[in-house]
Amino acid sequence: MRILIVEDEAAISTYLKESLEAEYFAVDVAMDGERGSYLAQINEYDLVILDNQLPKKDGITICRELRAEGKSMPILVVSVKNETVKKVDLLDAGADDYLTKPFALSELLARVRALLRRKPSLENDVLCVGDLTLDPKRLMVKRSNREITLTKKEFMLLEYLMRNEGIVLSRGMILEHVWDMSVDIFSNTIESHILSIRKKIDDAGAGKEKLIKTISGRGYKIEA
Ligand code: CA
C-alpha cells in the first residue's frame, strides 16, 4: 500500500516516512501544498496524510481539489490544536479523519489501518486467499498454517495482490501501489519479486494449488 505524506516540517515527514516504511508501506513525501496536490493527482495513492498548515497551498484546499478531481483515496488531515480551521470544515472538504499535533505514532498507525480497512474488499484485518493468509498488522504470512518468511517488498507486493483478490493487476498498477517514486521502472523488479514469492508460497509443498496467476500480456492476479 502506497502513502503520500504532505508535511513541510522535515523532522516530522522524515520520522513518519521511516515509521511507515518500517510497517511495510511505500511512502512518498511532498514538502509543500502545491507539490502535494500535484503528486496526489498524478500517482495512485492508497492514502494521503496531509498537514493542514503548508506553504503554497493549505491542506483543506488540497482536500477540496482532490475530491473535485474525483480522487477517492482516504485522506487523514493533521492539524495543530489552536488552528482556526474547524474539524467539521475539514470533513466537509473531503477529509476522512483528522489528528491533532502532537500525536503518538501508535495512534497515527491505528488510524491509517482503519482508513485502509474501509475499502469494501476488506472484511477484516487478516487477508485470506484459499489457505494463504496475510496479517498486515503482525506482518505475518502463512500457507496452510505454516509461517512463510518474505522480504519487505515481497510482503508489500503480496498484500497488494491479496487486497485485490481475483482482479488482474498490470505492471503499472503494481508499481503505483507497491513502489515509491525512487523505483527504476525499466528494471525487471516486479517479475523477479513475483518469481521469488511464487517459490515461497506456491512451490514450497507438492500438490498445492498455485495461487498467483500470470495473465499473458496483462499482468498478475491471485485467486484460489
Ligand atoms: Ca505545517
Position 121 scores a pLDDT of 44
- Quick one: 83 and 18 in the same domain? yes
pLDDT at residue 205, rounded to an integer: 63
Distance from the alpha carbon of residue 63 to the mean position of ligand 1, in angstroms = 15
Q: How far is the CA of 128 from the centre of ligand 1 (A)?
A: 39
| Pair (50, 142) in one structural domain | no
Task: Looking at the structure, tell me whether residues 103 and 196 fall in a common domain.
Answer: no
Q: Which three cell numbers stand for residue 18?
A: 521511516
Q: What is the mean pLDDT of residues 52-60?
A: 93
Q: What is the pLDDT of residue 209?
A: 85
Do 161 and 62 share a structural domain? Answer: no
Q: How far is the CA of 41 from the centre of ligand 1 (A)?
A: 21
8 plus 94 within the same structural domain:
yes
Nearest CA-CA partner of 27 in 182, 194, 152, 191: 182
Q: Give the distance, in angstroms, between the CA of residue 67 and the centroid of all CA atoms in the same chain.
A: 19
So what's the pLDDT on residue 30? 98
Segment 4-9 shows an average pLDDT of 97
pLDDT-above-70 percentage for the chain? 92
Is residue 9 located within the same domain as residue 115?
A: yes
Find the farthest-apart pair of alpha carbons in the chain and give their distance in angstroms, rounded. 63
201 and 95 in one domain? no
Cα 136 to middle of ligand 1, angstroms: 30
Listed residues: CB within 5 A of ion ligand 1: 8, 51, 53
Would you state the pLDDT for residue 149?
95
- Are residue 102 and residue 12 in the same domain, yes or no? yes
Range of the domain at 109: 2-120
Q: What is the CATH number of the domain that holds 218?
A: 1.10.10.10
Distance 104 CA to ligand 1 centre (A): 17
In the chain, how many domains are there?
2
Looking at 15-19, 71-75, 120-124, 212-216, which range is the least confident one?
Answer: 120-124
Q: Which residue has the cell 500438490?
A: 207
**For residues 29 and 76, what is the distance between their CA atoms, to the nearest angstrom?**
14
Give the tens place of pLDDT for each residue, 84-138.
677 888 888 999 999 998 899 999 999 999 898 765 444 457 889 999 999 988 8
Question: 221 alpha carbon to ligand 1 midpoint, in Å?
Answer: 40
Q: Ligand 1 centre from 8 Cα, in Å?
A: 5
Q: Are 113 and 137 within one domain?
A: no
pLDDT > 90: what percent of the chain?
Answer: 69
Distance (Å) from CA 143 to ligand 1 centroid: 44
User: How high is the pLDDT of residue 177?
Assistant: 92
Which pLDDT belongs to residue 124?
A: 59
- The predicted model scores a pTM of 0.79
Task: Report CA(24)–ligand 1 centroid distance (Å).
Answer: 25
